[in-house]
Amino acid sequence: MNFSVPNRPKRLKLLSINKLLPNIITVAAFCSGVSALRFALDERWELAVMMILLASVFDALDGRMARLLKAQSKFGAELDSLSDLVCFGVVPAVVLFMWSTIDLSRYGWMAVLLFGTCCILRLARFNVRLEDDDKPAFAAGFFTGVPAPAGAGLALLPMIADFQFQLGLKEYPVALSFWLAAVGLLMASQIPTYAFKQIMIPQRMVLPVLLGAGLVVASLVTAPWLSLCCVLLVYLVTLPFSYLSYRRLARTHPSV
């Protein structure tokens, strides 16, 4: 008689907490972003915006933590993209819709759908280009289109400005719908934008940069809405400069 031993299931591979930490941060980003909807339903608009901004902080940390701990994985990359789509492609547009553009009914919702579609296209293109080995070296210093977290911040800029200056922007849903659509198109565009993580700091400038970073953090704590307005407006100003910088570098590489 042939007594065959059934195949035993393979034991699960154990992972250290260091390998899971980036994914935990990504999940925290997702939970923060989705929590913005809960506060928006209660019309606690400032807390809703804060939750989206907190999600962007977590999003900035998870990738850097993965590289630092050498814990990059395809699973983590997919998890990050899905979290970004929800937190920065869906939630900000819905919050803005509930705050103001709901008065336009289906036309306001069209702007929400356009923004979300642009975000998913931007993220899909980003994931595909990660596997592109033919990019010139200087291209690592640029994104294609506005990154999703920056796009979410720009989409919420009218709300943030209204929190600080009481401009009554809530009463202009048509203008806000066009603004949301324009920011979405910036995300899906081919415009090169600075990837600031690639900037090299001369040694003599380290101390001034650290002092400047401390000043920015202090201003965000003491006057968050005014500080965020300034940061987002400065980012908008950098867009034409990033385009011109990319074009100048491309001219020195004829194959680009």
pLDDT tens, position by position, 25-51: 999 999 999 999 999 999 999 999 999
Q: What is the CATH number of domain 17-251?
A: 1.20.120.1760
Q: Provide the β-strand partners of residue 142.
A: 194
Q: How far apart are CA 171 and CA 169, in angstroms?
A: 5
User: Please, which pLDDT band fits residue 21 given cuts at 50, 70 and 90?
Assistant: confident
- Which comes out higher in pLDDT, residue 16 or 193? 193
Q: How far apart are CA 22 and CA 4, in angstroms?
A: 43
pTM, two decimal places: 0.87
Q: How far apart are CA 57 and CA 64, in angstroms?
A: 11
Q: For 142-155, what is the mean pLDDT?
A: 92
DSSP state of 199: P
User: Please, which pLDDT band fits residue 7 given cuts at 50, 70 and 90?
Assistant: low
Pairing state of beta strands 142-144 and 192-194?
antiparallel
Q: For 166-187, what is the mean pLDDT?
A: 94
